[in-house]
Amino acid sequence: MVVGASPSGIAAAASAARNGAETILLDRHMGGEFDHPANTFFDGMFSRSGLTVEGDYVLHDLDGMHIISPGGCCLSIPAPGRFIDRARFDALYLERAEMAGTELLRGTARSAPLGGSGRRVETDSCEIEARVVIDASGVDGAIARGVGLEPLKHPEDVAWAAEAVVELPGIGEEKYFEYFVGSISPGWKATFSPGGGDRATLGVFVRGHGRDVRPFLDRFVKIFKQHKFADYDVGEMKIVSINRGGDAIAALPGEIVSDSLMATGAAAGMSGMAYAMRSGTIAGEVAALAAASGDVSKRSLSAYVQRWNREFGLEYRMGRASLLTLGRMADEEIDRLAAGLAKRDLDLSGSFFRKGLSAGIALARSRPGTIPPLIQSLAEG
């Protein structure tokens, strides 16, 4: 059984079913509208995860990103990306999971204690026996935590988010994501994501300030209007809705397997929609093979951890180290770093390893003093 129709949960269910397991995907919103705010990705991350971009759910194509320092220095990085219709995306992958043999069930999982040959999933309406339970319920990981696991290695470093869907004539036709860093959104970023036509999203992802980050969003909206004052009649901008959630970008996986239990996606510190789906795919495959073999022990399911570490472990640790280093820098330091990088030729083509290597070389050349804190942050990971 997979708990949570998140991207990782849908991928885990489809993978388990394709590998011969009788699979149930449980979610309290099944058959209705999911509360899934994530709606952007970069093509490189999708291909890295073995996924193919499909036009059915793409609302707007983007050419890359602008990273904007507190003082307004802008780094322009070409990296094709997409703004998607999340409801269509979810529906497409749910249909594929169902076609693979997954049973879609509406309900809420309360707990999953050990029982019989696996676990007893206690829902709001019934009890279901499962050889393996995969917790893909989101950043709180209630099922995994309920059995005593600590699926996030650094839960204090979850970035809590608030994102506004806004309308303004022409705002959605821009071709670059914009990421604002520094004290505007401590510990991570504030974002502008053009969604095509007259729609876009404005978001803040904040670490170290609790779950209520609405004040940071309100401040960012004001700053964004000033930023776009010359391009639009910003007085006409309307906020359509506000979504909230958590991003485990810097949390890293902790205890993510136990007897008959696994955690994946945000519940396991595996953030990013495409990467979470790949993580879910690995979890589903390992779970199905373990169930077929009759050995669903922690030791057997740990093959999932080993495979994930081989594919993504270093990348996530580097990401955490970078964010910790950024979080320790004053706005003035970030401005100097951005100015130094702006003078460099950032070749961010090719694999993610090559991108990271290129960025690291440019960083060392432009601001050598940032390297020791980066190494320290990596060691702390």
**So what's the pLDDT on residue 364?**
46
In this structure, what are the phi and psi dihedrals at residue 53, rounded to the nearest 5 degrees? -70, 135
Provide mean pLDDT across the span 158-162.
95
- Ordered alpha helix ranges (H), 127-272: 142-146, 214-227
Average pLDDT over residues 70-89: 92
How many residues appear in the chain? Answer: 381
- Return the H-helix or E-strand segment holding 306: helix 303-308
Residue 379 has pLDDT above 70, yes or no: no
Could you give all domains of the chain from N- to C-terminal order, each with its CATH number? 2-37+87-155+250-301 (3.50.50.60), 58-82+159-247 (3.30.9.40), 316-380 (no CATH)
> Each residue of 102-149: pLDDT tens digit?
999 999 999 999 998 999 999 998 999 999 999 999 999 999 999 999
How many helices (H) and strands (E) the chain has is answered by 12, 18
In this model, does residue 171 exceed pLDDT 90?
yes
Helix, strand, coil percentages (3-state) for the chain, rounded to 5, are 40, 25, 35
In contact, 290 and 296? CB cutoff 8 Å: yes
What does the block give as tokens for 312?
A: 């993504």
Q: Is residue 374 over pLDDT 50? A: no
**What pLDDT does 323 receive?**
85
Longest dimension (CA), the chain: 66
Query: Which residues, listed in sequence order, are joined to residue 134 by a DSSP beta bridge?
Result: 2, 262
Q: What is the pLDDT of residue 346?
A: 54
Contact 366, 337 (CB under 8 A): yes
Report which of residues 90 and 352 the model is more confident about.
90
Q: State which H helix or E strand residue 240 sits in.
A: strand 238-247
Please, which residues have CB within 8 angstroms of residue 241's CB and are 6 or more apart in sequence? Answer: 164, 165
- Residue 278 burial (C-beta neighbours within 10 Å; 0-12, 13-18, 19+): buried
pLDDT tens readout for residues 188-224: 999 999 999 999 999 999 999 999 999 999 999 999 9
Does the reported pTM lie above 0.85?
yes
Mean of the pLDDT values across residues 137-162?
96
Q: What is the pLDDT of residue 327?
A: 86
pLDDT value at residue 361:
43
Tell me the pLDDT band of 377, cut-offs 50, 70 and 90: very low
pLDDT beyond 80 at 239: yes
Question: CA-CA distance, 266 to 374, in Å (whole number)?
Answer: 24
CB 334 within 8 A of CB 322: no
d(CA 86, CA 90): 6
Output 125 or 83, whichever has higher pLDDT: 83
- Note the pLDDT tens digit of each residue in 15-42: 999 999 999 999 999 977 766 677 899 9
- Give the pLDDT mean for 11-15: 98
Residue 366 has pLDDT above 70, yes or no: no
Q: What pLDDT was estimated at residue 328?
A: 87
pLDDT digits (tens, 9 = 90+) for 242-280: 999 999 988 999 999 999 999 999 999 998 899 999 999
Average pLDDT of span 153-161: 95
Reference 247, options 296, 211, 200; nearest CA is 211
226, 180 contact by CB (below 8 A): no
Name the DSSP class of 312: I
Alpha helices in 19-137 (DSSP H): 43-48, 86-99
Q: Tokens 């997954």 sit at which residue? A: 102
> What confidence tens digit (pLDDT) does each residue in 301-353 have?
999 999 999 999 988 998 888 888 888 889 999 998 888 877 665 544 444 44
pLDDT of residue 236: 96
Given a contact cutoff of 8 angstroms between Cβ atoms, the answer to whether 141 and 135 are in contact is yes
pLDDT of residue 281 exceeding 60, the answer is yes
Which sign does the torsion angle of CA 261, 155, 247, 316 carry? negative
Structure tokens at 299: 């030791």
